[in-house]
Amino acid sequence: MSICQGKNSWPELVGTLGPDAVKVIEEENSSVTAVIVFFNQPIIGPFLCSRVRVIVNYRFIVVAVPTVG
């Protein structure tokens, strides 16, 4: 069980385009802001229920399950 409200992971978006994934995530959970992060960028910062990182490759394809945090 998650401490965050609403849907908190989107495995079905792996393999889709990052900008499309951002749109789906923000439509399905209005409490979050989805941000695109390149796979080789360091992931830093605190856990936030209001953020979803969408990890993409150089072709903007989602390469990891987007999750709240």
Residues 14, 17, 20, 21, Cα dihedral to 10°: 30
> Coil, helix or strand for 20?
helix
In this prediction, residue 47 carries a pLDDT of 93
In this prediction, residue 3 carries a pLDDT of 87
What's the predicted TM-score (pTM) here? Answer: 0.92
* Superfamily per CATH, domain 11-68: Trypsin Inhibitor V, subunit A (3.30.10.10)
Question: Domain-by-domain residue ranges, the chain?
Answer: 11-68
Which tens digit of pLDDT belongs to each residue from 1-54? 578 989 999 999 999 999 999 999 999 999 999 999 999 999 888 999 999 999
In this prediction, residue 44 carries a pLDDT of 87
